[in-house]
Chain A
Amino acid sequence: MMGGTALMAWSVALPLIGAVLSLLVGRAGVRLVAGVASVATLIASSLVAWEVSTQGVLRQQLGGWGAPLGIEWRADGLAALMLLTIAVVGPLISVHALDHLGDREDREFLPLWLFIWCALNALVLSADAFNLYVTLELTTLGAVSLIVVRRDLPGLDAGLRYLLFALPGSLCYLLGIAFLYGAYATLDVGMLAQRVQSGPVTWVAAGLVTVGLCLKTPLFPLHVWLPPTYTGAPTPVTALLSALISKGSFYVLLRLWLEVFAPVLDAEVGQLLGLLGAVAVLWGSVLALSQTQLKRVVAYSSVAQIGYMFLVFPMATSGARAGVIYLVVSHAAAKASMFVAVGNIHQAVGITELGGVQGLAYRMPFTFLAMALGGISLIGIPPSGGFIAKWLLLNESIGTQQWWWALVLLGGSLLAAAYVFRILRGSFLPLPPGVTVRSIPLGNELAPLALALIALLLGLVPWFPLDLLAVGASR
């Protein structure tokens, strides 16, 4: 009845409709409206992925104008996989948020999450450089509003920090796009890729776009906002930030870099990005090891995991691209599961110190099973999505004769093992006397487990995502 192109439109329109309606109905119906909208969006996103996997790349000219006058959408395998990831990981986090946040926060969380969902789906599909800016803006402001949803001081502090870094990031990106438009008179990514030439305008534009997106993602050394923001934000919001929102800006960078900038820039620039990524892996992991707060351990681990993603730029092969996207997807599931588990632990014992986990493995088995499975994927032990990703990257680093990245991958894995085991070890010690463990709803215990199982499943059946990724891959 409905073609793939209409389904793409619904995957963006449905969360938007849900967000607006859930604001309109007032306090009574928010959950119902958001629930219906989430299920509908999940169906639309899955059908888009199905269409892409069976019929290849989908395109749509919005408004029927076509580039360069209008905006175009392009859904290849990469976009379809991202749509699926958002549609599965996001709702699981929001299910957890419902019981974790208070009643008022609940009502404010759901519309904002739906706006972000709309923005991320729009971002993934867009093939227009300015439209990408609009989607980044919507994501950023939605994230800030979510971070401050509790209206407490740590949340406001975290929200302001995020805003002060993400906004200049957006403006840098916008300025870069303005240069590209000034020089090549188009905003369509495909047309830019054909017209772009090596020269000062392109170099400066590439620099501005890259710096802007690295601020948002964030890449070392622009990551200084991440640990305090991730720690101060409410835990379900941190999970969304780390699992999905930071991936949005990385996705844009990956797209623009591989499709537009890479052919006209020297290979050294890619090496530089890879080097910063490598430093992020080691620096983030070492700092994760030295933290005393549980949530900060997981937050610094995100700095490291984002570092791996930048290893795609020096290798720039289709294998490295697949590996990095596999890392993006499995990190989304694994890290969301770990943050949600951290939220459960805070809720159960009210202790934010790393020592607070002591003895909890016996009381909250599902939460710690999730933590362990998520950790396995972060480290890259088979079978897990993280293992497949690192295996692909390892192969490429050998294949492109850049063996030094292999050392980074292995060293980072060892350090990750150390900080994950540091959390798990404590949980198996006997419960200290005098600690009361509040029981938490079963749904909250199962949400992180479901997320962790997805990370595991990505390691068991890698062919489906990998086949999907191959659809429309340029090289």
Chain B
Amino acid sequence: MDVLLDGVLALCLPLLAWLVLRTESLSQAVVLFVAFGLLSALGWARLEAPDIALVESAVGTGLTGALLMHTLSWTEETPPDIRARGRRRPWALLAVAASTLMLGWAVLALPADSPGLGPLVEARREESGVKHPVTAVLLNFRGYDTLLEIAVLLVAALGARAVNPRSERPTPDAGDDPLTGELFRMMMPALLLVAGYLVWVGDHGPGGAFQAGAILAGGGVVALLTMRMGPPRLSSWQVRWALLTGPMLFIGVAVAPLFTGRRLLELPRPYAGTLIFVVELALTVTIAMVLLMFFPGTRPPRAGAEGEP
């Protein structure tokens, strides 16, 4: 049964990837891309990497799919045939084939049974303050990587600001369309609950700030697209605090040991679990805010025709 499932995945993934590239309309390509993302999330789950599967489905597929769809609503009504512009290039095929062969050669030469650092992580997991090995690596053993990744997210949000066009003002009262209004009211509590659960469960199972932040951002995106709120702007102090409390807390936890003669990010062992939980909770809001900042608001009506930033 497993072999069958893996076989179907292994066949469908390259096929879908090919279709994404070859399809004529952009909206079809986006739909196919979402399907590709969901299947690859399944693939990660089959590879026993549930954490990556969660992130892939929430960020790589859910939010990215929504962002691509939303971007389509900003483009012309009839997107140009994307295939017409790219001619067939035999040398491109040759290059792809050559690099595939080269990578395959290297993969086959990899040691089949290398455990990596898994056993070492397992051996010292107790000292990290959390029970889930992935959280132990991300927030403690290699917490410094995560600290810099948070900076990457902030920088990405700053960069997105430059390309996001001006959008329609939000109209909170117009959101009483029975369908979306009811959907929104039903969805929000569930999203909050799931996000909170994911942060909490990160201590001992697959979950954590990134997954929870993505779920939270999903709720924000729905609010944004139903015009309940405008895109978050850095000029508002609420947005700035929501964005920056997490990073400030994390940096504070990182540099505090320096004052007592210890090393950067050396968490005091008895409090490590608590500190990690608090930092993750604050980072969830940061991550949700960053992801939300990638989304422009609703496109103004055609008459304006001022989509350019």
Flag if B152 contacts A134 (CB, 8 Å). Answer: yes
Known: A69-B124, A148-B159. A138 touches B148 (CB 8 A): yes
From A153, which residue of chain B is reached at the shortest CB distance? Answer: B308
Question: Can you name 17 extra interface pairs (CB under 8 A) apart from A145-B158, A199-B109?
Answer: A6-B258, A23-B240, A62-B144, A62-B263, A63-B140, A65-B140, A68-B117, A112-B155, A115-B154, A119-B148, A145-B156, A145-B162, A148-B163, A151-B309, A185-B115, A201-B109, A204-B106
Q: Are A138 and B244 in contact (CB under 8 A)?
A: no
Within 8 A of B (CB), among A58-113: 60-65, 68-71, 108, 111-112
Using CB atoms and an 8 Å cutoff, list the residues of chain B in contact with chain A.
102-103, 105-106, 109-111, 114-117, 120-121, 124, 140-145, 147-149, 151-152, 154-156, 158-159, 161-163, 234-235, 237, 240-241, 243-244, 247-248, 251, 254-255, 258, 261-267, 309
Whether B251 lies near A17 (C-beta < 8 A) is yes
Residue of A with least CB distance to B267: A63
The reply to whether A200 and B266 contact each other, CB–CB distance below 8 Å, is: no
The reply to whether the CB of A19 lies closer than 8 angstroms to some CB of chain B is: yes
Is there contact, CB below 8 Å, between B110 and A201?
Answer: yes
Q: What are 7 A-B residue pairs whose CB atoms fall within 8 Å in the complex?
A: A19-B154, A20-B154, A23-B234, A68-B117, A70-B141, A130-B142, A175-B103
CB distance from A392 to the nearest CB of B (A): 34
Contacts of B244 in A (CB 8 A): 20, 23-24
A70 → chain B, closest Cβ, in Å?
A: 5
Partner of A60, one of B124, B143, B263: B263
Please report the C-alpha to C-alpha distance between residue A17 and residue B249 in the assembled complex, in whole angstroms: 11
Chain B minimum-CB-distance residue to A13 = B255
Closest chain-B Cβ to A61's Cβ sits at a distance in Å of 6
Contacts A63-B263, A142-B155, A200-B106 known; A20 to B248 CB distance under 8 Å?
Answer: yes
Q: For A145, what are the chain B residues with a Cβ–Cβ distance below 8 Å?
A: 155-156, 158-159, 162
Hey, which chain B residues are within 8 Å of A5, CB to CB? 263
SS of B interface (majority): helix
B266 partner residues in chain A, CB cutoff 8 A: 63-64
Mark interface residues in A183-211 (1 if CB within 8 Å of B CB, else 0): 10110000000000001110111010000
Contact with B along A140-159 (1 / 0, CB 8 A): 01101100110100001001
Residues of A within 8 A of B265 (CB): 62-63
Find out whether the CB atom of A144 lies under 8 angstroms from the CB atom of B159: yes
**How big is chain A's contact interface, by range?**
35 or more
Chain B: minimal CB distance from A394 (Å): 37
Bound state CA distance, A119 and B309, in angstroms? 29
Q: Is the CB of B151 within 8 A of A115?
A: yes
Q: Using Cβ atoms and an 8 Å threshold, which residues of chain B touch A182?
A: 110-111, 114, 116
Q: Is the CB of B152 within 8 A of A200?
A: no
A368 is an interface residue with CB less than 8 A from chain B? no
- CB pair B103 A204 closer than 8 Å: yes
Decide yes or no whether A305 CB sits under 8 A from chain B: no
Cα A16 to Cα B243 in complex, Å, equals: 15
In the assembled complex, the CB of A10 is this many whole angstroms from the nearest CB of chain B, namely 7
Smallest distance from the beta carbon of A372 to chain B beta carbons, Å? 36
- Chain A residues near B163 (CB-CB < 8 A): 148, 151, 156
Flag whether A444 is at the interface (Cβ < 8 A). no
The smallest beta-carbon distance between B249 and chain A, in angstroms, is 11
Tell me whether B110 and A179 are in contact (CB under 8 A): yes
Within 8 A of B (CB), among A1-21: 2, 5-6, 9-10, 12-13, 16-17, 19-20
